[in-house]
Amino acid sequence: MATLTMPPAVPVFPLSMFGPVHVGMDEYADQVHVNLAEKNMLVGGEPGGGKSAALNLITAHGALSGDCRLVLVDGKQVELGMWRDCATEFVGPSITDALGCARWLQADIMNKRYDELLAAGLRKVTCGMGWDIYLVIIDEYAYFSATVGTKTQQGEYAALTRDLVARGRAAGVIVLLATQRPSHQVIDPSLRDLFAYRWAFRSTTDSSSDTILGHGWAGQGYSAATIDPLARGVSWLLSETGVPRRVKTAYLTDDHIKHLAAYAAQLRRKEARP
């Protein structure tokens, strides 16, 4: 009797950047998802509030998506460092490297993609085209825009980031920017207003909360300053079409991240810049 030989398992990416990204649960126990294929996100809040958990959740989704190229910019290195083997580009606390990465994204990815879209008679990247989403996650944005380097370098980095946020979506370049308090000294208000998703974790004042969510929300009862300091991961999430939604962020432990990052690294070949 012939023995049936099963073919070897083929690694398959379980997720897609064109699908919903799970981020947690709301106060009614409903699952909360965001759609990042065409929307940028701003994340803010005081240290210990849960920003890192949020960033790692979205990074995990990108790492496990076969149609995603991760570009990770981390001023501390350690928040996103465990995903570096899954990333097309990983930048640590170097303003020179951060500028080089932003210039590359602008000129070699975004602008070239728009040339190709124009030639093909298309207006944006869609799921059926087979083009990857470039998910650009910038942690500790203030480190690059207001702390390290010269004023000229900081200004150039801020300008490049604004261009990526303003023009990148239709080209499949999506920016997730995180900072403790996105005040005007750290992030220009004209850039802040371009983010479709605003995610506010625990803040010290109503003013700080409004800086993240947008002016006036604290006065309507949506203030991250009212979040219990011990309630880590509780936040307000605002989309471009609704009101803030109270969310308890899902949480990945360091062990979870290590295992997921190792699995994702196996699924993808370490990629250099195309």
Render pLDDT for 262-272 as a digit per residue (tens, 0 to 9): 999 999 875 54
Q: How far apart are CA 234 and CA 191, in angstroms?
A: 25
Radius of gyration of the chain measured on its C-alpha atoms: 19
Strands (E), the chain: 21-26, 31-34, 41-44, 68-74, 87-91, 133-139, 173-179, 197-201, 234-238, 245-249
Q: Which of 54, 27, 28, 31 is nearest to 232 (CA)?
A: 54
Q: What is the pLDDT of residue 38?
A: 86
Q: What is the pLDDT of residue 62?
A: 97
Name, in order, each residue with C-beta under 8 angstroms of 190's C-beta and a sequence gap of 6 or more: 162
Query: In what order do the strands lie in the sheet containing 173-179?
Result: 31-34, 21-26, 245-249, 234-238, 197-201, 41-44, 173-179, 133-139, 68-74, 87-91
What does DSSP say about strands 133-139 and 173-179: parallel, antiparallel, or unpaired? parallel
Q: Which two structure tokens, joined as six digits, stand for 208?
A: 């700080």
pLDDT at residue 241 above 80? no
The identity of residue 99, as a single letter, is L
Residue-averaged pLDDT of the chain: 91
Q: What is the pLDDT of residue 3?
A: 44
Residue found under tokens 């370049």:
173
Beta bridge partners of 31: 25
Q: What is the pLDDT of residue 7?
A: 44
Q: How far apart are CA 250 and CA 21, in angstroms?
A: 11
> Within 13 Å, how many C-alpha atoms sit on residue 130's CB side?
0
pLDDT grade, residue 182 (50/70/90)? low
- 50 near 230, Cβ under 8 Å? no
Q: Which residue has the higher pLDDT, 137 or 2?
A: 137
> Which residue ranges make up each domain of the chain?
29-257
pLDDT at residue 49 above 80? yes
Q: Residues of the chain with pLDDT > 90: what percent? A: 80
Average pLDDT over residues 32-44: 94
Q: Which of 110-119, 190-199, 255-264 is predicted least confidently? A: 190-199
> Within 13 Å, how many C-alpha atoms sit on residue 122's CB side?
15
Average pLDDT over residues 51-65: 96
Q: What is the pLDDT of residue 87?
A: 96
Beta bridge partners of 25: 31, 248
Q: What is the pLDDT of residue 246?
A: 96
SS3 250: coil
pLDDT at residue 233 above 50? yes
- 232 near 45, Cβ under 8 Å? no
Question: Could you read off the pLDDT of 2-15 as tens digits, one per residue?
Answer: 444 444 444 589 99
Q: What is the pLDDT of residue 8?
A: 46
Q: What is the pLDDT of residue 101?
A: 98
Question: Could you read off the pLDDT of 71-105 as tens digits, one per residue?
Answer: 999 999 999 999 999 999 999 999 999 999 999 99
Average pLDDT over residues 147-171: 96
The pTM for the full model equals 0.91
The CATH label, of 3.40.50.300, 3.30.200.20, 3.40.50.2300, 3.20.20.150, for the domain at 29-257 is 3.40.50.300
pLDDT at residue 70 above 50? yes
For 6, 12, 25, 248, 268, the CA distances from 9, given in Å and listed in that order, are 9, 9, 34, 36, 15
